[in-house]
C-alpha cells in the first residue's frame, strides 16, 4: 500500500538559496531509493518561508528504509542546522 509523507520546513529569507541546494541534493539521492514513487515541493502562499514536501512511497517499509538511511540523515542534519529547528513529518495512506 502506498504512503504519502508530508514534510514541513520553515525557513528564513537568508537560508532559501542554501536550503534549495540541499533539497535538490536530497531529491537526487531519493530518486535512486527502492520504493520511491514521486515527490513535489510546495511553497505556502500566505507564509512564504514555509515549504511542504509531499513524497510518495510504495510502502511504509520503503519510507522507513529511506528515513533511517545514513545518506538521508546526513543531508537532513545539514537542513535542520540551517533552519535552526527540526523538520516535521506526517505519514498518510
Contact (CB, 8 A) for 8 and 93:
no
Task: From first to last of the 93 residues of the chain, give the pLDDT tens digit.
Answer: 999 999 999 888 778 888 889 989 999 999 999 999 999 999 999 988 888 999 999 999 999 999 999 999 999 999 988 887 889 999 999
Q: How far is CA 92 from CA 3, 18, 49, 50, 79, in A?
A: 6, 29, 24, 20, 23
- The CATH number covering residue 72 comes to 3.30.70.100
pLDDT at 48: 80
CA 26 to chain CA centroid, nearest Å: 7
Residue 43, strand partner residues: 51
Q: Rounded to an integer, what distance in angstroms lies between the CA atom of residue 78 and that of residue 53?
A: 17
Q: Rounded to an integer, what distance in angstroms lies between the CA atom of residue 91 and that of residue 12?
A: 25
Domain that holds residue 58: 3-92
Contact (CB, 8 A) for 56 and 35:
no
pLDDT at 75: 95
> How many domains, the chain?
1
Amino acid at each position: 500500500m502506498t504512503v504519502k509523507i508530508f514534510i514541513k520546513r520553515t525557513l528564513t529569507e537568508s537560508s532559501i538559496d542554501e536550503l534549495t541546494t540541499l533539497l535538490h541534493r536530497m531529491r537526487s539521492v531519493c530518486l535512486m531509493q527502492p520504493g520511491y514513487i514521486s515527490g513535489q515541493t510546495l511553497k505556502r502562499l500566505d507564509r512564504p518561508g514555509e515549504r511542504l514536501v509531499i513524497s510518495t512511497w510504495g510502502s511504509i517499509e520503503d519510507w522507513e528504509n529511506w528515513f533511517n538511511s545514513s545518506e538521508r540523515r546526513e543531508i537532513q542534519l545539514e537542513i535542520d542546522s540551517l533552519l535552526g529547528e527540526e523538520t516535521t513529518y506526517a505519514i498518510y495512506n
